[in-house]
Amino acid sequence: MKRILINITTALGLVFYATSAFSDGTATLRQGTPITSEAEAPPITKEENTDVKRVRNYPEQPPTIPHQIRDYQITLNANKCLSCHARTRTGESQAPMVSVTHYMDRDNQVLATVSPRRYFCNQCHVTQVSARPLVENEFIDVEDLIKGEQ
Amino acid sequence: MAPFKKIFCLVAGLWSRANRPAKHLSIGFLTIGGFVAGVMFWGGFNTALELTNTEEFCVSCHEMGDNVFAELKTTIHYSNRSGVRASCPDCHVPHNWTDKIARKTQASKEVWGKLFGTIDTREKFQAERRRLAGHEWDRLKANNSLECRNCHSVESMDITVQSARAATAHQTFLFTGEKTCIDCHKGIAHHLPDMTGVEGWE
């Protein structure tokens, strides 16, 4: 009997602790919606299609895609991105050519065509949407970091 | 009994008169009769065409339903903010009457394909895909992308509200007549076949 009572009090304590943790404003992606109810879905955001290149945060960053890519097929059969970004296609499309790193294999040997490891563009390049960030971004650009130290 | 007898006599009379050589019939009767028959024939013909000119008819064959139709469903031509849907015949059967009949006669070849089960799996379809897509590209190239233009006309295209990429491409190559829709917009409705060797693709 005593054992059961102890168990019940511990369980109640845990429940109390858990609920207070959620109500005291701990930052969660649920933004205060209690765990027991369903959060309202945020509105669907729009893919940005401004055609204006964005600044890269560091030199090796794969640039984000400044245009929409709806229904662009990248399959075994076809690569829509390369129909504009491949070396031979840039004259007509006026798109920036994929950089030379995309033609290199892992021994830095430059190949005639885009290297297989760079075939699936979306592995590294993504579009951006007009969403407000859920958490604050504390990234500091290396330029600012250097300036701050001087 | 009397009314039936009357009608019988009337019909028999008409028949015997119609059976007489044409020189006894007025030119007017011939013209009007011919016209009426023509209207009836065309009506039936049109109805038959209307029936075969629907999405349901096209996808009634699993070749179409399981492959191209399933793929179409995720694209902008199936669901978009404007609420206008392009269905199979919008892109594949010319609205022009003579072209339409020509296409329908070609379609009987497809029925043979169905009967003899030439393309009954996804794998077989993928294997035939380059050839079938080629037929469509050739057709759209030859008619200057007529089906696309039935909905999208260059005259009503406002490039100032298009994205910069679209506006530049359309201004440089479309408005000058150098290229047509299908040159640049392949694969907008279905998965693409193996594109090696197709102009403009790597």
Alpha-carbon distance of B141 to B180, in angstroms, equals 7
What tens digit of pLDDT does each residue of B122-142 get?
888 888 899 999 999 999 999
CATH class in words for B33-153: mainly alpha
Task: Enter the pTM of the model.
Answer: 0.85
What tens digit of pLDDT does each residue of A89-148 get?
999 999 999 999 999 999 999 999 999 999 999 999 999 998 888 789 999 999 999 998
Predicted local distance difference test score (pLDDT) of residue B8:
43
Are the beta carbons of B192 and A68 separated by less than 8 Å? no
Give residue limits of the domains in chain B. Answer: 33-153
How many other C-beta atoms lie within 10 A of the C-beta of residue B145?
Answer: 20
- Mutant choice from B78, B132, B202 vs A, greatest count of A C-beta within 10 A: B202
- Mutant choice from A48, A50, A67, A73 vs B, greatest count of B C-beta within 10 A: A73
Predicted local distance difference test score (pLDDT) of residue B12:
47
Give residue limits of the domains in chain A. Answer: 45-131
Give residue B199's pLDDT band: very low, low, confident or very high (50, 70, 90). very high
Which residue in the set A67, A83, A94 is minimally distant from B202, CB to CB? A83
ipTM score assigned to the predicted complex? 0.74
What's the CATH number for A45-131? 1.10.1130.10
What tens digit of pLDDT does each residue of B53-106 get?
788 888 887 567 788 999 999 999 999 999 999 999 999 975 455 555 566 666
Helices B97-115 & B27-52 angle (0-180, nearest 10)? 50
Are the beta carbons of A51 and B164 separated by less than 8 Å? yes
What integer best gives the mean pLDDT of chain B? Answer: 78
What tens digit of pLDDT does each residue of A45-95 get?
899 999 999 999 999 999 999 999 999 999 999 999 999 999 999 999 999
